[in-house]
Amino acid sequence: MSFYGLRRLYVPLALLVVAAVSRKHITDLAPAYQQVIEWLPYITLGIALALSAFFNKSRIFTAALGLLALYIVIRWQLDAPLGSPRVFVVYTVAGLAWPLGIGILLFTPERGLLNRYGFMLVAIVPLFVLAGWGLLHFVPGPAAALASDWLRPHPWPRYVLSAGVSALFLLAFLTSLIMLMRRDLEDTAALAAALLFAFETLAFFDLPWISRTMIGSAGLALIVSLVRSSYDMAFRDELTGLLGRRALNDRLKGLGRHYVIAMLDVDHFKKFNDTYGHDVGDDVLKMVAMHIDRVNGGGTAYRYGGEEFSVIFPGKDMEDCEPHLEDVRRAVGRYRLALRDVKSREAPQKVAKQRRGRRQHARENSVSVTISIGVAERNDRATTPEEVIKIADEALYRAKEKGRNCLSR
């Protein structure tokens, strides 16, 4: 678990702050501009729905549809004081439905939109709407049934959302943060952002223009998330989460006259695959990538291919970068990688037969991993990134010859 995944919430939080600040000045705008703000949620959520359908993202599509339904309900059903029993029921059901719905989306794996799983997931939104409509029309005295201290609005001054619904929102948001720290997925960040904007809308419901600005900005946050997801699919390595070879090639084109390139390789990687299987080999690559991605000194990590990685330090020299690379090497060497239970691994029948004998002897609970590093900088002898990479590869080979688990230049 790492706090690194929380960086995906920077943009949604910035949009939340901008929406909160700009809301106070909307009344000063001309009526034509106010009309644009009125339609902003329809525009941004419509774009989010179209993009999520294009990228086959069922969870973000469902979240966008839910936000659109929330905005329609607010505009058509909640334009009255909460003292009205009907308005109170609609507001309370909307508040309960949002964290519950996001909770379902958080624990549902992404299986695409245009299939039965996607249709079943999207059906959550109309089902919640129908449940609220049925409660309002067919349950005798729904307002009385919901009128408990935990569901009563205005528990504190200038705060509308009830204590019970607030606790439910908090639980769902903490769950999303934990999942984001564990898996670092853009879709999880998008769901957490949708939850935040819905909470802000309902918690401060009596403020002017709150639903227009917050839900409209929520649509923008989902759009940003979808764009970032498409970037990750194109430029990030799926296994390790690092930027991939395509991103590295693009970065090499824009380097200036001063830079350092390091090539890093996992020592005895074939041994891990042969001894413990490719699933443990994948764990090794993910662990090493995690440490390399934390390199300091302005370096950016890439997966070069196989068990080889690369780090680029723009505008740096060798003396600036070596201490940070040594920190990464030592951090990898100190880490103990827990082995998976070999009895629970699933493998094709033929592969299982080939590995059964040697896996019976793999009884260690954990293993240590080391890396070797070759580093080079641009100079009069190596004037292009390709030449610098070649020299760094040669230095990496020398590090292997020295006994591995070391840095060479």
d(CA 93, CA 129): 9
The residue behind tokens 């058509």 is 76
Q: Which listed residue (307, 319, 326, 401) is catalytic?
A: 307
Our answer to whether residue 307 is catalytic in this structure is yes
- Start-to-end CA span in the chain (Å): 33
d(CA 361, CA 141): 67
Nearest Cα to Cα of residue 301 among 237, 256, 392, 372: 237
Backbone angles phi, psi at 23, to 5 degrees: -55, -35
Give the 3-state secondary structure percentages of the chain, helix then strand then coil, rounded to 5: 65, 10, 25
Nearest Cα to Cα of residue 369 among 298, 258, 290, 263: 290
Which secondary-structure segment (H or E) carries 306? none
Q: C-alpha distances in angstroms, 144 versus 84, 128, 136, 149?
A: 12, 20, 11, 12
Q: C-alpha distances in angstroms, 234 versus 72, 231, 300?
A: 35, 5, 17
Instruction: Identify whether the C-beta of residue 165 lies closer than 8 Å to the C-beta of residue 92.
Output: yes
Q: What is the DSSP letter of 335?
A: P
Contacts of 22 (CB under 8 A, 6+ apart): 213
Residues identified as active-site: 307
